[in-house]
Amino acid sequence: MQPGFDPNKEKKNGGESREGSCDRSECALQKTCSLNLVPSCLKTVTDACGKNFYHLTKGEHVCGPCYDELWMTGHIHAQHFADWKVAWCKMSRCFPTPRFFVQDQLLPYWLECTKCHKYRKYDSEALKVITVPEIESFSCSDCSAPEDRLAIEARNPNWILSAAVAPLLHNSPSLYYLKDHYYLDEVGVSPAAASYPEDITIPSSSFMAPFHIPEQPMAFCVRPDVMEYDELKRFPQYSAEPIIYLGLRNLIITLWNMNPCVSSPLRDF
């Protein structure tokens, strides 16, 4: 146990036990903090002791000092965490832990270069909201450089099994159909980033209902919070953690239903 660490105080502040620290066999002994929030950040440690790093995904961790910054009273990121918890709890029944906050708000983005089509880590300030133009125009500084191993490993179909908490979509168009009917994190959407225009007109909404709405049963609809039998059979790796699959599947169904007469921009997905 680290000096000055109080398990009861951490639990009271919404923290997770040190028992949740990384000791997974698939993670290398050398670990790098993905946040670097404070000067005392451990950055990269060659022979990292499990209690010093919290696991997020295979290759992504948060060191103890940065993790403590999120919940200790008086720290700037602790206030951000408190504000985020308020927004999260409005549309989720899952307890908002620091690890959820890191996954939802603090992890760096990985963008595809428009020139070499390799994924690069997008360096930006913590809590910065990325825009569509930034995504569409992103180009890396050196297209000849090899792609980071973290991006390569994320293409493995079983990579999702390494995630401590499921990554969620921000401001997904599926909010148009689901916002008032489901807990958002259970359909793959972030409860704390759930902004979508309510005054838009969807011509197909008068005769198409893609998702099952509780107390409004309708034939030929999809349960947005459950994988169908055929989906589980085709994508068994998502059976244990289906949230990211549900978020992407619901997004694709939503985009098609919003304009079914136009070819889907995701035809090559």
What are the E-state strand segments in 113-269?
A: 119-122
Residues 187-216, mean pLDDT to the nearest whole number: 83
Q: Read off the tokens for 207.
A: 């005769």
What share of the chain has pLDDT > 90, as a percent? 51
Backbone angles phi, psi at 32, to 5 degrees: -125, 130
8 A C-beta contact, residue 62 and residue 56:
yes
How far is 222 from 234, CA to CA, in rounded Å? 17
User: Please, which pLDDT band fits residue 263 given cuts at 50, 70 and 90?
Assistant: low
Q: How many residues does the chain have?
A: 269
Q: Is the pLDDT of residue 18 over 70?
A: no
DSSP string covering 167-182: --BSS-TTHHHHTTTS
pLDDT in tens, 141-186: 999 999 999 999 999 988 888 888 889 999 999 999 898 899 999 9
How far is 137 from 154, CA to CA, in rounded Å? 22
Mean pLDDT lowest among 17-21, 74-78, 220-224? 17-21
Q: Is the pLDDT of residue 266 over 60?
A: no
Place of tokens 């620091």: 98
- How far CA 139 is from CA of 34, 40, 115, 147, 219, in Å, comes to 22, 32, 6, 13, 45
User: Please, which pLDDT band fits residue 249 given cuts at 50, 70 and 90?
Assistant: very high
Residues 79-100, mean pLDDT to the nearest whole number: 93
User: Please, which pLDDT band fits residue 12 given cuts at 50, 70 and 90?
Assistant: very low
- In DSSP terms, 3 is beta-bridged to none
User: Please, which pLDDT band fits residue 264 given cuts at 50, 70 and 90?
Assistant: low
Q: Read off the tokens for 44.
A: 């990269």
Please give the model's pTM, rounded to 2 decimal places: 0.82
Backbone angles phi, psi at 82, to 5 degrees: -65, -45
Q: Is the pLDDT of residue 7 over 50?
A: no
How far is 9 from 198, CA to CA, in rounded Å? 41
Supply the pLDDT for residue 21.
67
Q: Is the pLDDT of residue 69 over 60?
A: yes
How far is 147 from 151, CA to CA, in rounded Å? 7
| More confident call, 208 vs 192 | 192
* Three-state secondary structure call for residue 269: coil
User: Please, which pLDDT band fits residue 24 given cuts at 50, 70 and 90?
Assistant: confident
H helix intervals, 146-242: 149-153, 175-178, 229-234
pLDDT in tens, 36-64: 999 999 998 887 665 688 999 988 999 99
Place of tokens 């499990």: 50
User: Please, which pLDDT band fits residue 19 given cuts at 50, 70 and 90?
Assistant: very low
8 A C-beta contact, residue 24 and residue 57:
no
Q: Is the pLDDT of residue 78 over 50?
A: yes
| Closest C-alpha among 201, 198, 197 to residue 258 | 201
Q: Is the pLDDT of residue 110 over 50?
A: yes
